[in-house]
Every structure is written in C-alpha cells, then in structure tokens.
Amino acid sequence: MQPLVVVIDDEPYWIDTVRSVLTPHGYRLQGFTDPQEGLRFVASSRAIAAVLLDVRFGTEEQGLQLLREIVRLPAAPPVFMLSSYERALYIEYALKQGAEAYIPKEQLASLPERLQHLMRQPSPPFHQSFEYLQQLGIETCSEKMRELARKIQLYAPTDLAVLICGETGTGKTLVAHALHRASHRHHGPFVAVDIPNVAGAAELFSSRLFGTVKGAFTGAERTDGFFHAAHGGTLFLDEIGELSPEQQAKLLKPIEEKRFCRVGSIREETVDVRIIAATNQDIARMVDEGRFRRDLYERLSQEVLFLPPLRERPDDIIHLAQHFARTLPALLWGASPAAAPYSFSEAALELLCGQPWKGNVRELRHVVQKCLLLAREAGTSLLTPRIVRQALTSSAMPDRQTSGTLQQVKQQVTREMLEYTLHAYGGNVVRAARALGISREHCHRLIKRYAIDINAFRTRQPHNAD
C-alpha cells in the first residue's frame, strides 16, 4: 500500500504543491485547510507515514497548539513543519516541542528524500539506544538522550546539512563525529573548522576555506582549503555564530551547491562534502534580529539537533563522573587495567550532583581529572568529598573582566584554561593537550598565538610526575 502523508495548510496552493512533489514517488496525499478537521483525521488514523503541518494558521499559537495535540497522540506520526519565512525562534520552539524537522516551503523538493529515510531507518530498540550512542563515542544514561540516538540514526545516512545547538561543553563536536561515523562517508575525512580561528581578515577566511592560486596576493602559493580537504567526507563548521555578515554571504553558494572559487581565481571548483555546523549561541534569535542571514541558517539547518545541558540530565552526572574516573587514568599516565581503579565515594558523588555545571560535560571531565591528580598525589584511589571540594576550588577559573566582545572573552578564557593546564602538568605539552582534549599541534599553536612562555611552567616539578 502506498504510504499516506497528511498535509494541513490553510493555503490550497501548498497542498497541491506537496501533492505534485510526492505523488510521483508513490505517496498518497490527504490535504486539509481546516486545522481542526486535519487533527481529527490524524487522531482517527493509524497508518500515517508523516504529517506536514503549516507553521502559521492565523496566529502562531494556533499552529503550536495543533503540533502539541498531534505529538501527544498514541503512536503519533512524525510531524514536519512547513515554513514560509516565519520567525526562526518560533520554528525552533516547534522543533523542541516534538516536530521532526522544519522545511522551508521553497525547499519542498527535498521532501521525498527526507520521508524515504524516515521510513527506512527505524529507531534503535529502546534498551539499545545507549549502546548505540556508546558505539559512536557518546557516553550517557539519560532518558533525554534517547531522542539523540534516534535522530543520529535517522540523519546520519543522509547528506542533509545538520545544525547542532547546545551550550558550551555539551558535546557538539562528539555528535558531529558520531554523525560522520554512522554515515556512508565514514571512510572519508572529517574536517573540523573552528570558525573563530579563521573568521578574522576576509582574505584569510576565504583562503583557509577555499584555497588560493599562486600569485593571488604577495607571496601566495597554490593551496587547498578546508572544502578541498573534506572532499568525500564531512566538513564540520564549529561556532558558526561567529561569522561576520560578509563571511556569511561567502558561504551561501559553497554550502548549497558545493561550488566555489579559490582566492585569485575565477574558475569554479566542485567538491563532494556533507556540511555539519554547530553553535552555542541563540542562533534563531540572531536570525530574527538580523544578525545572522536567514538564507544561510536555512541551508545549515535542514535538520536540527538540540543537546540538553548537563543540569537537565542529572543521571549523567554520576554516570559520567564514574566513566571518567575509569578511563582518564589510562590517558593521563598510561595506567594498566591491573592498576587499582579509582572510584568516588557515595558522599563525593552527592557533592558532584549538587554543582551547577555551567561548563557542562567538559567542566565535569576537568574536575574529575583534577580529582585523579589530587588522589594520585595523596596515594589513594578513593575519591572523597575532601578531594572533590579541593578539585572544585582549584578548578574554578579566576575572576575575569567580562567586558568586551564575545570573541575577546572567549580568547581570555582559552588563555586562562591553557595556562592553568600547563601549570598543572609542569609544562608538559603532550599531557596538557590530552587533558584539554586537543591535539599536540593545536596546543602548540595556541601557545604561540597567546605568546605563552612554556619555560615558565617547566621550572617546577609537576605534581603528577611519574
């Protein structure tokens, strides 16, 4: 039997447009211009492949109410929001309320592909969701993360652009890696671009992303850019909220068509890349306020993933603390499995659960790492409340002047964290890089960028020396 798709839109034109797009692909279509009539049909049917719901029915509240009623239905079908230049904040709220995705009405041609993957990729069995995430490098036991497992399995096989939204330290890069590892591109490169590091001068931005031809500017040689490096794989654009309006415009065509020109050339080149982006900013509000281009936002957010902060998944605090206590010693000291395992006392775990964790999983990892260093120094494998309190105190970043631009504050925090970690490891760059979760080369680049005197940290013996 042909799969049934229900379209609820107060404009008959769009119902007819969806019908013309889906009918050639074997779908049956039932359209409603009256939202309540459409809701009654959905509530009484049990064989609906998907519901396509217009964002606006006279008022925004009516559209949201209809969505809420549909997702509450037993065995509710997946709901795709159809938008036509609505407020990005409204669309984002709809996604958080349970909508599968939103589709700009100008991009209805992508519907068949999205529906095909939706029906072809079943969710992981309930009891296997955490195992699925663990296989992809994401450690969790929180019920809130089951939806992440389902959406990774759904989105990974496609080439649709995914936007990952979440606070600093929630694991956006891990999720980007997971999407790549679970995709058909997993044998290809995964190229991560830290936008704040390349979003300076316009010429630097373009040359780093698109490459240059010889003679493009004084001393320029022919170089490849990040788009070239990611050919056949995934290009991860981290912190896209840092892009200037000029840089946003330069990314429109490369992201949509995968076509661009090297700096100094007029010849277009084409690459085969899948785009994943991430941001810790309120990007929807930036769009509505005119600080981020709507057309670029729509290209980057064909699918959207929201990562909940650690405070909203308290079960993960204990789970991750214990996980880090088991796994970090091998990374820090090369400890053998036969070594005495580190573990938290119950009181120490209670103390960890009472913290706000504004830095999320990254902050928790840093505190557990500090606990291990303190326990090693004290000659014990039991992580007690005293050790946790000491780690929390010493791991707290010093008070800082928070005036200035977001980029200036971020640079200040980065420098402080780098100096603190170098101090903790007696100037050992390899161990400092490992502790920060970055490569040794990246650590050396940061040391050079911030003109840090590494010898100043090497004058003392690290407290974790073997």
Q: Tell me the per-residue pLDDT of 14-36, one tens digit each, with 9 for 90 and over.
A: 999 999 999 999 999 999 999 99
Q: Is 83 left (phi over 0), alpha (psi -120 to 50) or beta?
A: beta
pLDDT (mean) for 314-342: 86
The reported pLDDT for the residue numbered 287 is 94
- C-alpha dist (Å) from residue 296 to 56, 247, 248, 286: 22, 11, 7, 12
DSSP-based three-state secondary structure for 258: coil
Q: Which two tokens stand for residue 394?
A: 């010493």
The reported pLDDT for the residue numbered 339 is 67
pLDDT (mean) for 233-260: 94
Closest CA to 312 of 100, 170, 179: 170
Q: Where does the pLDDT of residue 466 fall: very low under 50, low under 70, confident under 90, or very high at 90 and above?
A: very low
Query: Within 10 Å of residue 459's Cβ, how many Cβ atoms?
Result: 8
Backbone phi, then psi, for 299, in 5-degree steps? -70, -35
The reported pLDDT for the residue numbered 406 is 52
Looking at per-residue pLDDT, the higher value among 414 and 283 belongs to 283
Percent of all residues in the chain with a pLDDT value above 70, rounded to a whole number: 89
Average pLDDT in the chain: 87
Asked whether the beta carbons of 237 and 193 are under 8 A apart, the reply is yes
Rounded-to-10 torsion of CA 366, 372, 377, 379: 170
Closest CA to 105 of 173, 23, 161, 21: 21
Q: Comparing 214-218, 229-233, 243-247, 272-276, which segment has the lowest mean pLDDT?
A: 214-218
pLDDT for residue 58 is more than 90: no
pTM over 0.85: no
The reported pLDDT for the residue numbered 31 is 96
Q: Which residues pair with 30 in a beta bridge?
A: 6
Helix (H) or strand (E) holding 227: helix 226-229
Q: Tens of pLDDT along 95-108?
A: 988 899 888 888 89
Asked whether the beta carbons of 115 and 78 are under 8 A apart, the reply is no
Residue in the structure block whose two tokens are 């995430």: 133
Q: Which two tokens stand for residue 72?
A: 């509450």
Q: Is 28 left (phi over 0), alpha (psi -120 to 50) or beta?
A: beta
The reported pLDDT for the residue numbered 401 is 44
Residue 352, classified by CB atoms within 10 Å of its CB into exposed (0-12), middle (13-18) or buried (19+), is buried
Q: Which two tokens stand for residue 389?
A: 């309190």
DSSP-based three-state secondary structure for 263: strand
Residue 340, classified by CB atoms within 10 Å of its CB into exposed (0-12), middle (13-18) or buried (19+), is exposed
pLDDT (mean) for 62-85: 88
Q: Which residues pair with 223 in a beta bridge?
A: 212
Q: Which amino acid would we find at residue 235?
A: L
Residue in the structure block whose two tokens are 């200040």: 412
Q: Tens of pLDDT along 251-265?
A: 999 999 999 999 889
Q: Which amino acid would we find at residue 21?
A: V
The reported pLDDT for the residue numbered 35 is 92
- C-alpha dist (Å) from residue 47 to 19, 173, 220, 262: 18, 37, 61, 51
The reported pLDDT for the residue numbered 408 is 60
Q: Where does the pLDDT of residue 410 fall: very low under 50, low under 70, confident under 90, or very high at 90 and above?
A: low
Angle formed at CA 119 by CA 116 and CA 122, multiple of 5 degrees: 135
The reported pLDDT for the residue numbered 461 is 42
Angle formed at CA 77 by CA 71 and CA 79, multiple of 5 degrees: 70
pLDDT for residue 137 is more than 80: yes
